[in-house]
Amino acid sequence: MNQTLLLCCLVFLWPTESCRTLCQAASKNKAKVSAKPHDVCDGICVENSHCSQPCPPNTLGNMGFLCRQKKWHKITDTCRTLTPLSLFEENLSSVSTFSENVNINKYPQKTETITDLLMQKCPKDLSCILANIQHSPRIPGNIAVIVQLLHNISTAVVMDVDEAKMQSYSIMANHILNSKSISNWTFIPEKNSSCVLLHSVNSFARKLLVHKHAIDISEVFIHTLGTTVSGENSGKNLTFSMRVNDTNTEVSGRVLISRDELRKLPSASQVVSIAFPTLGALLEASLLGKVTVNGLVLSVILPKELKRILLTFEKISKLEESRTQCVGWHSVESRWDQQACQMIQENFQQAVCKCRPSKLFTSFSILMSPHSLKSPILIYITYIGLGISICSLILCLSIEALVWDRVTKTEISYLRHLCIANVAATLLMADVWFIVASFLSGPTTHYDGCVAATFFVHFFYLSVFFWMLAKALLILYGILIVFHTLPKSVLVASLFSVGYGCPLVIAVITVAATEPGKGYLRPEACWLNWDTTKALLAFVVPALTIVVVNLITVTVVIVKTRRATIGSSMFQEVRAIVRISKNIAILTPLLGLTWGFGIAIVINDRSLAFHILFSLLNAFQGFFILVFGTILDPKIREALKNRVNSAKWISRISEQNLSSEYSCHPTKGPS
């Protein structure tokens, strides 16, 4: 009996001890695993190699790493705690590890199942999973799950979204739009997740029903307003004020529908608007260049009859030197587009945009270029330099007119001075139109005048460069073609064709190709557009090409000058160096080589030194042309001297004639 009892005890107690032993071993292994860092890859780091690491305990998914500069950098993260099972548990912390592991390979196919379960358990208000979503960590995998869930809900719910459903939907979206989760969005493998979220929220809001009472659903990171409008309203104003980051500072946004627009409505209709303070930062991955979203993202859902709205954005960053653009989100191409909006008014605090909502454009905001370098020093240099340049060019043209007959007696001298005179004349006109364009307050208030000013600035500055090219070709013609000459009339016609014909063709084609689509001008200044149509290339490409050709011309002149002194004495060598330096000093402003410093600005646009150097060399270009092209020319100085001497001689003869007439007819004294 005792042996039987002992055997029974062993049978029942041994499994218990075995389980206890196994659990202790599992705990030790788990402790070892936990002690191991999960944010570093175990593999050997070879440049551009990839590595995958499992997620920490109690989470599903994995982390991807890329080796750069001998260090592992995390690039993807799918770690998640949300599963179909855990979402519908009453207490998220009660979900067992083993239950989660059962679904580890089935999860990617289970997202729609979550939506189906949601529609079965709480179809009226979608609230049965809110608690578990709100208590879930905002890690990349969970964010991706919620984004996909919101997308599926917006697709599954076909119509009749009431305020309760919109409230639950907003709570789910608010959880992943939290400013503390922004950094985790960068590790989601699907880089268009923020675009999907915006599209899903807008699609769901389109089905929202607004009855007699206005809807106001306010969360910290998403705010929805819905109201009814009709042609009898004097206008509609929807105002938002939200915190952008963890500070208490709020940024406002406003949607204004004018009375004239509302009159287009045949009957009472509804308007829904949604404001996002943090979504702009998530959408910045789609931006090109150094541009950031600088205001709330405002989604506006209107009746199809309404085509124009005014949006007021308070700026997040109120830097005066920043450049602002009004933009709309292109829902098909997933990018910000300037074609949807037009800047109406701007100051350092806010921007007012006129936008055109449509199926393609539902969301709007403002972009900021933070590295737009505007220094008072540059402004002073530009305007002082232009003033001196204009006076110098007027003096240059006056001197050329005075001595024209004396310095153009030969064909080559005639063509040379023809080029200098036209360079001075076109640069003078370009500077004048540049000042006119700068005094216009931009395309928003003087659009037609801005187009005209931009066209003439473009044309005359191109003419400056092409006349410089004509002079360079004339120099090459004189150096390389010695025994063959063309008639003077042919050369003059060729010079005018190059100097004025080519710039006119380029300027006309540019305005004709870009202006119909409103892509000719920049939104903030009277100058060629860059962001959308790249119209600025119609100036930059010809200008830099001519600078390169002219640089080759100067090199040829230097080589020819240097070759003539080979084998000469030291004195002649020194004279040759002086002559070469003089040629470079004269040809640099006349051939526009100073514009080559613009390449340095393109390479490093933040360097104030490069900007100052570029402004000094080019704002004073008219002064340099006067000095090196006119005053330092010995023939012009001699002609001026003769002109002055002849003027003195004529005045002296006139005085003598007057005095002789006076002596021949003496006045009679009193008798």
Angle between helices 140-156 and 111-121 (to 10 degrees): 60
Residue 195: predicted pLDDT: 93
Residues 336-369 as b/e (b if ≥16 CB within 10 A, e otherwise) read: bebbbbbbbebeeebbbbbbbbeeebbbbbbbbb
Poorest-pLDDT segment among 142-156, 204-218, 433-447: 433-447
Residue 597: predicted pLDDT: 60
Q: Which residue in 269, 241, 243 sits closest to 253, CA to CA?
A: 241
- What DSSP string runs through 606-652? T-HHHHHHHHHHHHTHHHHIIIIIIIT-HHHHHHHHHHHHHHHHHHH
Query: Quick one: average pLDDT of 131-160?
Result: 91
pLDDT in tens, 444-483: 667 888 899 999 999 999 999 999 888 888 888 777 765 5
Q: Dig out the tokens for 606 from the structure.
A: 């933040």
pLDDT in tens, 525-546: 788 887 778 888 999 899 888 8
Chain centroid to CA 635: how far? 51
Does 227 score more than 90 pLDDT? yes
Spatial neighbors of 170 by CB under 8 A, at least 6 apart, are 217, 219, 222, 224
Residue 62: predicted pLDDT: 92
Q: Which residue in 348, 357, 419, 395 sits closest to 592, CA to CA?
A: 419
Residue 481: predicted pLDDT: 67
Residue 574: predicted pLDDT: 52
Residue 26: predicted pLDDT: 39
SS3 track for 304-372: CCCCCEEEEEECCCCCCCCEEEEEEEECCCCEEEHHHEEEEEECCCEEEEEECCCCCEEEEEEEEECCC
What is the number of residues in the chain?
Answer: 671
- What DSSP string runs through 128-174? TTHHHHHHS---HHHHHHHHHHHHHHHHH--S-B-HHHHHHHHHHHH
pTM summary value: 0.59
Q: Quick check: helix, strand or coil at residue 227?
A: strand
pLDDT in tens, 171-191: 999 999 998 888 899 899 988
DSSP 666: P
Q: Dig out the tokens for 603 from the structure.
A: 């390479």
**How far is Cα 198 from Cα 209, in angstroms, rounded to an integer?**
19
More confident residue, 322 or 54: 54
Residue 113: predicted pLDDT: 66
Confidence of residue 140 (pLDDT cuts 50, 70, 90): very high
Residue 123: predicted pLDDT: 83
The CA–CA distances, whole Å, from 143 to 80, 345, 652 equal 8, 38, 96
**How far is Cα 250 from Cα 38, in angstroms, rounded to an integer?**
38
Residues above pLDDT 70, as percent of the chain: 75
Confidence of residue 502 (pLDDT cuts 50, 70, 90): very high
Query: Quick one: average pLDDT of 260-284?
Result: 90
| Spatial contact of 210 and 228, defined as CB atoms under 8 Å apart | yes
Poorest-pLDDT segment among 10-24, 30-44, 227-241, 652-666: 10-24
**How far is Cα 359 from Cα 340, in angstroms, rounded to an integer?**
12
Query: Quick one: average pLDDT of 305-313?
Result: 92
SS3 track for 169-223: HHHHHHHHCCHHHHHHHCCCCCCCHHHHHHHHHHHHHHCECCCCCCEEEECCCCE
Query: Quick one: average pLDDT of 558-585?
Result: 57
More confident residue, 229 or 663: 229
DSSP 500: I
Confidence of residue 124 (pLDDT cuts 50, 70, 90): confident
| 670 burial level (CB within 10 Å; 0-12, 13-18, 19+) | exposed
Residue 102: predicted pLDDT: 32
Does 243 score more than 60 pLDDT? yes
More confident residue, 338 or 31: 338
Query: Quick one: average pLDDT of 23-44?
Result: 51
More confident residue, 628 or 301: 301
Does 21 score more than 50 pLDDT? no
Residue 58: predicted pLDDT: 87
Residues 524-549 as b/e (b if ≥16 CB within 10 A, e otherwise) read: bbbbbbebbbebbebbeebbbebbee
Max CA distance (Å), the chain:
184
More confident residue, 168 or 411: 168
Residue 3: predicted pLDDT: 44
Residue 573: predicted pLDDT: 52
Query: Quick one: average pLDDT of 295-300?
Result: 95
* pLDDT averaged over every residue in the chain: 79
- Which amino acid is located at 332 in the chain? V
Residue 439: predicted pLDDT: 83
Does 582 score more than 70 pLDDT? no
Does 571 score more than 60 pLDDT? no
Residue 562: predicted pLDDT: 65
* Owner of token pair 């855990």: 86
Residues 138-158 as b/e (b if ≥16 CB within 10 A, e otherwise) read: bbbbbbbbbbbbbbbbbeebe
Q: Residue 642 half-sphere exposure, CB side, CA atoms within 13 Å?
A: 12
Q: Which residue in 152, 184, 180, 153 sits closest to 168, CA to CA?
A: 153
More confident residue, 158 or 64: 64
DSSP 271: E
Poorest-pLDDT segment among 25-39, 66-80, 289-303, 532-546: 25-39
Poorest-pLDDT segment among 81-95, 130-144, 441-455: 81-95
Q: Quick check: helix, strand or coil at residue 65?
A: strand
- What DSSP string runs through 522-580? -SSSSSB--SSS-TTHHHHHHHHHHHHHHHHHHHHHHHHHHHTTTT--HHHHHHHHHHH
Spatial neighbors of 112 by CB under 8 A, at least 6 apart, are 152
Does 95 score more than 60 pLDDT? no
